A and B are shown apart, each in its own frame.
Chain A
Amino acid sequence: DAGVIQSPRHEVTEMGQEVTLRCKPISGHDYLFWYRQTMMRGLELLIYFNNNVPIDDSGMPEDRFSAKMPNASFSTLKIQPSEPRDSAVYFCASSFRASGMVGETQYFGPGTRLLVL
């Protein structure tokens, strides 16, 4: 398996523009997670899905952020409109079962580095 695939790897945009980040989880994994990583706040969970259904979106910063998972092999994280404070590395991760179950692992993608000017 190719692992978790994210695109684009780098994105530079101007304030106010719409940004769409994409993720393809590992085939057969039922859980998909979106994280944001910054120096100041570390790795923060934004939202996660189970079987394509959003389970917990309490980490989504505000209404400018939205995430969808139309099928088991694809998810998007959209920021509209983008702001400079959204600059961060956004990671997608997937797992077969719920985190916390013995032996369960989250597999992370390489991340999308977003810079909003």
Chain B
Amino acid sequence: TQLLEQSPQFLSIQEGENLTVYCNSSSVFSSLQWYRQEPGEGPVLLVTVVTGGEVKKLKRLTFQFGDARKDSSLHITAAQPGDTGLYLCAGARSNTGKLIFGQGTTLQVKP
């Protein structure tokens, strides 16, 4: 059973386009993180959202945590080839000590 469902699984777009990646669950999380992974490397944390309804911006990336803390979205404005990679959402419950990862969204931005 996949507790965190990401969509879409694959996305190929042209440079300059906008996109949104979704991370959904039926479970409530105390916090949710987004990671980015490049080929041959481990995931690297982009952002952590904690409060329901919270919105965080990181340059052209906008992250939102759902009001009920069950879902999240990542929006990229004017995508660039450097944004290419695997985007993973990960949820945590209180202080269990561990994260539950979604399947990931593979993004390819073509010049």
Contacts and interface: CB of A to CB of B under 8 A. Distances in A.
Nearest to A35: B101
B97 A48 contact: yes
B88 interface: yes
Contacts, number: 65
B52 interface: no
A101 B29 CA distance: 11
A56 B97 contact: yes
A82 interface: no
Contacts of A99: 92, 95-99
- Per DSSP, chain B at the interface is loop
Nearest to A6: B42
Interface of A: 4, 31, 33, 42-45, 48, 50, 55-56, 91, 93, 98-106, 108-111
B45 A105 contact: yes
A105 B96 CA distance: 14
A115 to B, nearest CB: 15
A113 B2 CA distance: 24
Contacts of B94: 100
Contacts of B103: 42
A42 B41 contact: no
Interface centre among A31, A99, A102, A108 (most CB of B within 10 A): A99
Given A56-B98, A93-B42, 12 more contacts: A4-B42, A44-B101, A45-B101, A98-B95, A98-B97, A100-B99, A101-B95, A104-B48, A105-B33, A109-B42, A110-B40, A111-B41
Contacts of A48: 97-98
B110 to A, nearest CB: 22
Contacts of B48: 102-105
B102 interface: yes
Interface in B69-100: 88, 92-100
A82 to B, nearest CB: 22
Contacts of B99: 45, 99-100, 106
B13 interface: no
